C-alpha cells in the first residue's frame, strides 16, 4: 500500500467502492496457486518477484536476497537450535490444505470485509502509534498497555526470544492482545522506527479471534509508513512455507505442562547488506526489512522489548476484560502463565549474548504484570513470565 492509498476516504460509503476495489487489486497479487485454509482464509501462492514489497518506490530496482550474508557470530542462528524444553512447536492451519511451490511465497488474501472493518482506507493495515504508543523508551500516554522487559542504553543489532502461544480473550473487536519481540530506535520520539514480530489476536485486522503469526514495521510512528504483515510494500519475504497473518495451531493449554506450544523468533541486522532479517524457529528464514526503509534504524536500534501488549478501549474508567498472554498472572508460572525464555541480544561485535540485565515495565500491575526469576538456567536462559486477565476485583 503506497502513499496514494493512504487517504482519508470513508470506505463505508458505497460511492467509494472503486477505491476499495483498487486497493484489493494492489494487495492481492496474481496467484500461481490458491489454497483454502480450514479457518476460512485463502492463501495465494504469489511469484516471489511479484510480492507487494517491490511496489515500494525505494525497492524498484532492489535485488532480492534469498539468504543473509551473516548471522550473529556465536550462536547457531541458521542451524538446529540446542534449546531443550518440554514445550512443542506449532504449525499454520493452511498447511492442512496444501503447500506453495518453489519460487513463490504464501500471502493471506485480503477481502473487502477486511478493509471495511478498518473504517477508512487510511487505517487499513496500520497500528495507530502517534497518539497511543506507550513504551519505556518514550513514556507516552495512551490506551495501549504493556507488561514487558526491555534493554536500553547501547546500540543493539538484533534480538531473539522464545514465547509460548495462547489464545487470549479479546473483549471488543477493536481491541487486540499480542506477545512479541520489538526492536526500535527512539532517537526521534515523534517518529519512532520499529520492527516487531510475534503472535496476536486482532479481530478488527483479521476478522476473527484466531491466534496468528504477525509482523509489523514503521519508520515514522506509522504516520505515513509501515503496516502489519504484507499489507503494504516494504518487507521482502523469501519463505514459501510461512504466511504472515495466518492462524497457528496448536495452542498452549492451561494447567497442562505437556501442552505448552511455542515459537522462537530472531531478528538481526545482516552486517553484509544492512538489512534486518527474521528467522522463525531454527530453520525458517522468513525474509527481511531492507535498510533503505529506515533512517536511524538503518544503523542500529536503541531499545529491545520482549513481552505482551493489549489495547484497552473501555471508557468511563472501567478496564477491559481483554486478556494478555494466557489470561493468568505470571506468578502461576509454567503451564499456566505466558513466558519468554532464552532472550538474547546482538551487540556491536555481532555476538549473540544473553539478555541478563533487562528492566521490567508494567502499566497496571493489578491488570497485567511481569515476573522475572532471579536466575538463568541452562535450559531456559534468561526468561520471565508475564500477562494477566485484565479487569478483575483488583483491576476494576
The full 3-state SS of 374-392, as one line of letters, equals: CCCECCCECCEEEEECCCE
**pLDDT value of residue 79:** 46
Half-sphere exposure of 396 (CA within 13 A, CB side): 2
The predicted model gives 121-141 an average pLDDT of 56
Give the residue ranges of DSSP H helices in 269-378.
none
The predicted model gives 136-156 an average pLDDT of 77
Query: d(Cα 322, Cα 174) in Å, to the nearest integer?
Result: 11
**pLDDT value of residue 11:** 45
Q: Which of 203-207, 221-225, 372-376 has the lowest mean pLDDT?
A: 372-376
| 309 part of the active site | yes
| Closest C-alpha among 329, 195, 200, 321 to residue 267 | 195
pLDDT at 7 over 80: no
75 pairs with which residues across the strands? none
3-class secondary structure, 352: strand
| Closest C-alpha among 343, 285, 308, 276 to residue 83 | 343
CA 78 vs CA 73, 82, 277, 315: distances in Å: 11, 12, 12, 47
Query: d(Cα 25, Cα 28) in Å, to the nearest integer?
Result: 5
Whether 396 maps to a domain, the answer reads no
Whether 276 maps to a domain, the answer reads yes
Marked catalytic residue, from 126, 175, 196, 305: 196
Whether 367 maps to a domain, the answer reads yes
Whether 393 maps to a domain, the answer reads no
- First vs last Cα of the chain: how many Å apart? 40
pLDDT at 129 over 70: no
How many C-beta atoms surround the C-beta of residue 372 within 10 A? Answer: 15
Whether 119 maps to a domain, the answer reads yes
- Reported as a pLDDT band with limits 50, 70 and 90, residue 13 is low
Marked catalytic residue, from 175, 193, 305, 309: 309
- Reported as a pLDDT band with limits 50, 70 and 90, residue 287 is very high
**pLDDT value of residue 126:** 81
Query: d(Cα 9, Cα 21) in Å, to the nearest integer?
Result: 13
Query: d(Cα 389, Cα 177) in Å, to the nearest integer?
Result: 11
Higher pLDDT among residues 122 and 93, named by residue: 93
Whether 194 maps to a domain, the answer reads yes
Whether 395 maps to a domain, the answer reads no
Number of domains making up the chain: 1
Residues 92, 1, 27, 110, CA torsion sign = positive
3-state helix, strand, coil split of the chain in percent (to 5) is 15, 35, 50
Residues 172, 177, 183, 185, CA torsion sign = positive
The predicted model gives 300-316 an average pLDDT of 93
Highest mean pLDDT among 87-91, 221-225, 313-317, 344-348: 344-348
Query: d(Cα 126, Cα 131) in Å, to the nearest integer?
Result: 13
Whether 248 maps to a domain, the answer reads yes
Query: What is the β-pairing status of strands 193-201 and 227-228?
Result: unpaired
Residue ranges making up the domain that contains 229: 3-387
pTM listed for this prediction: 0.91
For the beta sheet containing 42-47, the strands, ordered from the edge strand earlier in sequence to the opposite edge, are 31-36, 42-47, 104-108
| Closest C-alpha among 213, 17, 24 to residue 111 | 24
Half-sphere exposure of 331 (CA within 13 A, CB side): 6
Query: d(Cα 78, Cα 312) in Å, to the nearest integer?
Result: 38
Amino acid at each position: 500500500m503506497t502513499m496514494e492509498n493512504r487517504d482519508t476516504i470513508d470506505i463505508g460509503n458505497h460511492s467509494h467502492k472503486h477505491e476499495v476495489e483498487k486497493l484489493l487489486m494492489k494487495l492481492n497479487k496474481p496467484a500461481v496457486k490458491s489454497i483454502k485454509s480450514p479457518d476460512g482464509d485463502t492463501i495465494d501462492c504469489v511469484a516471489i518477484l511479484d510480492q507487494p514489497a517491490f511496489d515500494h518506490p525505494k525497492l524498484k530496482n532492489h535485488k532480492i536476497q534469498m539468504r543473509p550474508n551473516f548471522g550473529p557470530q556465536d550462536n547457531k542462528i541458521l542451524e538446529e537450535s540446542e534449546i531443550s524444553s518440554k514445550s512443542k512447536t506449532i504449525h499454520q492451519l493452511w498447511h492442512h490444505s496444501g503447500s506453495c511451490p518453489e519460487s513463490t511465497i504464501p500471502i493471506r488474501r485480503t477481502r473487502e470485509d477486511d478493509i471495511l472493518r478498518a473504517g477508512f482506507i487510511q487505517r487499513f493495515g496500520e497500528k495507530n502509534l502517534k497518539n497511543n504508543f506507550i513504551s519505556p523508551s518514550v513514556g507516552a500516554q495512551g490506551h495501549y498497555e504493556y507488561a514487558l522487559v526491555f534493554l536500553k542504553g547501547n546500540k543493539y543489532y538484533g534480538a531473539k526470544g522464545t514465547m509460548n502461544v495462547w489464545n487470549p480473550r479479546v473483549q471488543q473487536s477493536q481491541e487486540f492482545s499480542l506477545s512479541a519481540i520489538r526492536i526500535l530506535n527512539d532517537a526521534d520520539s515523534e517518529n519512532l522506527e520499529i520492527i516487531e514480530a510475534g503472535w496476536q489476536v486482532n479481530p478488527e485486522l483479521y476478522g476473527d479471534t484466531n491466534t496468528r503469526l504477525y509482523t509489523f514495521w514503521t519508520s515514522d510512528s506509522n504516520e505515513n509508513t509501515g503496516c502489519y504483515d504484507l499489507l503494504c510494500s516494504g518487507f521482502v519475504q523469501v519463505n514459501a512455507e510461512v504466511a504472515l497473518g495466518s492462524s497457528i495451531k496448536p495452542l498452549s493449554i492451561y494447567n497442562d505442562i505437556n501442552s505448552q506450544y511455542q515459537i522462537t523468533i530472531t531478528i538481526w541486522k545482516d552486517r553484509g547488506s544492512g538489512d534486518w532479517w527474521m528467522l522463525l524457529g531454527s530453520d525458517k528464514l522468513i525474509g527481511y526489512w531492507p535498510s533503505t526503509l529506515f533512517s536511524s534504524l538503518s544503523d542500529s536500534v536503541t531499545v529491545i522489548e520482549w513481552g505482551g501488549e493489549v489495547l484497552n478501549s473501555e471508557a468511563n474508567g472501567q478496564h477491559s476484560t481483554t486478556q494478555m498472554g494466557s489470561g493468568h498472572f505470571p506468578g502461576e508460572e509454567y503451564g499456566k502463565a505466558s513466558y519468554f525464555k532464552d532472550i538474547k541480544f546482538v551487540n556491536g561485535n555481532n555476538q549473540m549474548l544473553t539478555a541478563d540485565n533487562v528492566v521490567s515495565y508494567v502499566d497496571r500491575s493489578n491488570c497485567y504484570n511481569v515476573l522475572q526469576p532471579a536466575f538463568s538456567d541452562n535450559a531456559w536462559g534468561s526468561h520471565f513470565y508475564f500477562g494477566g486477565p485484565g479487569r478483575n476485583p483488583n483491576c476494576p
